[in-house]
Chain A
Amino acid sequence: MTRIALLFLFLVSLTLHAQNTAIGFNEKLTYTASYNMSGILTDLAEVTMETTPVQTSKAKLLRLKCKATTYSKWDNFFKIRDLYESYVNPNSLRPYLYNRDINEGGYHKNMKYTFSHKTKTVKTVQTKKSGWQEKKTVSIGTDTKDIISTLYTIRTFDLTNLSPGTSKIFTILFDREEIKAKVTYLGKETIPTAIGSKTCYKISLGSASSNTVTGTLWLTADENKIPVYGKFKIPVGTGELKIKSASGLKN
């Protein structure tokens, strides 16, 4: 009986630790963000998603970095230089430090989150262009993550045996507020991409509170589950994210 109980405990502990088998330490994904209006595409920006190893004196962490840069033809009209980064546990993708530095058409904002999972709080520091600074401490739930680590966490889930329509709720800390996001598995689809034709898991992203879908994402149906294509709702037309290149994949 004790053995069975121990085995059960072992199995439970295994399932509780979401293992990262999809994201490597030197992965680099490059995308083109475009605007689609009635089938006519206009390229807006280049988006890169990069991972790098970070060694501190106490631990080895994974740095997740997302960068959005408008193409030079847009720079005179509306220049975007956005940088998001998150320092996470390489296995569970639990965030420790998050930085968001946005520069959009002259508007500049920097936000830093320092997570303390023991006390379930996040120390936030918001800095604006003029040097104005605001510090706040917010309480978070056990599974609350920043937006970048949530995006990567989606890739760590095993979608092989899911039935279409299955959804999962994520809690994201954005602009110092906890937001409930809903990710729904829609099924498998084969789509042509710049890195070849790929069979993908199609998932929808949206708000859990209002039950609205804001975007659809196609993740490769392999061990890496890299996002190869994304479609997002905007007031007029649709926004698209298409993969340009992928390197340093884990599998």
Chain B
Amino acid sequence: MKKLFTILAFIASLFAIIFSVLPISNLAVMPAVAAIFFGLIAYFLSKKAGKVKKIIQFTFLLTIIALAITTYKSVFNTTEVANTEAIEATENKLEEESMEELENLEIDLDESELEDILIE
């Protein structure tokens, strides 16, 4: 039982640290909470048995680091859009091509339908 909770806590803390360095850092909270929960059970079971293994302490350390990274990222990192030059160039290119295409296209618009449309 003690071994099982130690392994679970260690795996959860690994997930927490991996998630925290990825853009999905918000999701690191879930494995971090699991790691703390399993870690505490493993810690008390080990304490009862007389000896607390170093791996449990290491698990807590990893979880704390993961939570620190997650908190830092959520406070200081802003969500912004960058590197839009390529898509803007595509937009302009498509617009030019489309205008050419539309000029050559037979548009079966009903003129009366468009009479009351005002372009602002």
Contact = CB atoms under 8 A, between A and B. Distances in A.
Nearest to B90: A101
A56 B29 contact: no
Centre residue among A24, A38, A73, A89 by max chain B CB count within 10 A: A73
What's the interface size class on A, roughly?
35 or more
Contacts of A117: 108
A17 B27 contact: no
A118 B83 contact: no
Interface in A54-99: 54-61, 65, 67, 69-75, 77, 79, 81, 83, 85, 87, 89-92, 96-97, 99
Given A72-B80, A91-B113, A118-B106, A83 B87 contact: yes
Contact of B101 (A37, A57, A90, A97): A97
Given A73-B23, A77-B23, A87 B113 contact: no
Interface in B1-56: 22-24, 26-27, 29-30
A23 to B, nearest CB: 11
Interface residues of B, number: 34
A55 B107 contact: no
- Tell me the dominant secondary structure on chain A's binding face: strand
Contacts of A70: 81
A247 to B, nearest CB: 12
Interface of B: 22-24, 26-27, 29-30, 77, 79-84, 86-87, 90-91, 94, 98-99, 101-103, 105-109, 113-114, 117, 119-120
Contacts of B117: 60, 90-91
Interface in A5-37: 17, 24-26, 32, 35, 37
B114 A72 contact: no
Interface of A: 17, 24-26, 32, 35, 37-38, 40-43, 46, 53-61, 65, 67, 69-75, 77, 79, 81, 83, 85, 87, 89-92, 96-97, 99, 101, 103, 114, 116-118
